[in-house]
Copies of this chain bind each other. A is one copy, B any other.
Amino acid sequence: MSASKRSANAMTVDQAVRDTLLRQFAGYRMKRAYLLVQEDMIETLAPFGLRTVTFSALAVVMGSPGISQSDLSDVLNIKRSGVVAIVDELEGAGVLKRKPVKEDRRTNALTVTAAGRRLWDKVEKAVQDHETALFCDLSPAEIAQLRDLLGRVRRTPSTDLEAEE
């Protein structure tokens, strides 16, 4: 009895009523929407043996061949130590390779293998398709606008300084 709708991925009928106070916040809606995207991405990437992080890493190395693990960690906003496992995973799958750099023997230059490039082409398409499905209620113009608006969210310097009241 009560909220017994048990739909596999949430959002019962009552929910819309019950999170009224939360839905006033764009941040809350962002979280819900992000969770949907995240769940969807997991399913989309699974057949390719990728996780969201490894997909992102592959994308970055595709766009910046020869990038170092340190720089990759900067771009992905992940600690260097975390990048190791990610690169291990992708290298183990034959998707990318660590190449020694003559000028600086501390560094690994990351490059995508031929198999990795073929994988990227397929995955990129798959993710594009899944985004299309995810945003099927939005017009192309609205999707573009959503992308634009999301890109304009930023933390103001005053917030960073945590000098409040």
Contact = CB atoms under 8 A, between A and B. Distances in A.
Interface of A: 2-3, 8-10, 12, 14-15, 17-41, 43, 47, 56, 59-60, 62-64, 67-68, 70-71, 74-75, 77, 124, 127-128, 130-131, 133-138, 142-143, 145-147, 149-156, 158-160, 162, 164
Contacts of A150: 26, 29-30, 32-33, 146
A43 B162 contact: yes
A149 B146 contact: yes
Nearest to A41: B27
Given A9-B155, A19-B75, A133-B156, 11 more contacts: A14-B71, A15-B75, A18-B75, A24-B128, A26-B37, A27-B131, A31-B37, A31-B38, A36-B153, A134-B159, A149-B149
Contacts of A162: 43
